[in-house]
Amino acid sequence: EALAPARGWLETAYTSETIRALWAPWVLHAGLGPEDAFSGQIAKVIAFALEAAGAPIVKGGAKNLLAAFEALIKERGGVISTDADVASIILEGGRAAGVRLASGETVHAKKSVICSVTPTQLYGRLLGDAAPKRDVDATREYRYGKGNFQIHYALSKPPAWRGEGLDKVALLHLTPGLDGVSKACNEALRGLLPEVPTICVGQPHALDPSRCPQGKAILWLQLPEAPRHIKGDAAGKFAAPADGQWTAKLREAYADRVEAILASHIDGFSGSVIARRAYSPADLEAMNINLVGGDPYGGSSTIDQAFLWRPFKASRNHETGIKNLYHIGASTHPGAGLGGGSGFLLAGRL
């Protein structure tokens, strides 16, 4: 039963296209599409969680969550270094003994080295020639998921949604429905810019007025169906760059397409825009090496690469083939998300 796709669940449990449209986009937040195995189960889990706990956001912005963790770590004597690119893992006697930064500085480990990176980086960069062949081979088969595209807006006034009550919702989806999610997902997977992407609209100010000056508003748009490598445009309007890479021009043109859909739901939207900032999948990857091709989830989350099979079928308890070296993060069991599950599980074992 857990393996059923969301389409199966929605088409057998609900006759209303509106209810199907309500739940279908949520599978995108788990890196899945509505026809993927297990997406029915994940949609039910999300539906239950939303009913039980809502969708809480951090007062004052997500940076406050980081600040809270930072304080906790420092309180316990931990040291945090930022802008410190780890270039390699130091091995001594076949065991992980520390890391070497790109600057040449070394940091020695008292007990173990724990990496929250993709397998591509761990076995293709950080371990260099010492990477176990079995893991190098498995990394070659590791797949990344759809890219993610972000648009952030500063608005001079709260959006005047045409749909009643939407001004009170912190996160909503604009979608033609279950088939629309399916179509856009499939287009992105085939390297096409979706004709009508699913637009996840976050309006944090609806729950937390401290996010912007009084009387103003902000919108946080997530487009989870973006191609990592562009082969074409499902709408037939934009030419794909010869090298398939995102360009600033294409990013803004695609953001215009998204904005036109958004504006069709909000009275006077264009006139209320103070500023817009779009991030293509390539921009996201440039900001965080873990977002390969702009995949926000550190690797495709289809069931063959999820849970106990993440990152590899032979992976066990976040161990690697090297003593004292552990692999955690979105690319490992139990998968992507802000829950910190892999680190929690490993901390319990260590």
Where along the sequence are the contacts to ligand FAD (CB under 6 A)?
Answer: 84-86, 116-117, 121, 148, 150, 222, 284, 288-291, 296-298, 329-330, 336-338
Q: Which is nearer to ligand FAD, 112 or 121 (CB)?
A: 121
What are the two backbone dihedrals, phi and then psi, of residue 265, each rounded to the nearest 5 degrees? Answer: -105, -10
126: exposed, middle or buried (Cβ count in 10 Å: 0-12, 13-18, 19+): buried
Q: Which is nearer to ligand FAD, 89 or 155 (CB)?
A: 89
CB of 334 to ligand FAD, least distance (A): 11
CB of 268 to ligand FAD, least distance (A): 28
Q: Which is nearer to ligand FAD, 14 or 116 (CB)?
A: 116
Contact 46, 26 (CB under 8 A): yes
Q: Which is nearer to ligand FAD, 175 or 272 (CB)?
A: 175
CB of 291 to ligand FAD, least distance (A): 6
Q: Which is nearer to ligand FAD, 85 or 164 (CB)?
A: 85
Gap between the Cα atoms of 344 and 346, Å rounded: 6
Q: C-alpha distances in angstroms, 202 versus 56, 228, 282, 299?
A: 12, 23, 22, 24
Q: Which is nearer to ligand FAD, 56 or 93 (CB)?
A: 56
CB of 42 to ligand FAD, least distance (A): 12
Residue type, 258: V
Contact 261, 269 (CB under 8 A): no
Gap between the Cα atoms of 259 and 101, Å rounded: 41
CB of 26 to ligand FAD, least distance (A): 11
Q: Is 30 helix (H, G, I), strand (E, B) or coil?
A: helix
What are the two backbone dihedrals, phi and then psi, of residue 171, each rounded to the nearest 5 degrees? Answer: -145, 120
CB of 139 to ligand FAD, least distance (A): 15
Closest chain position to ligand FAD (CB): 329
Contact 23, 40 (CB under 8 A): no
Contact 263, 160 (CB under 8 A): no
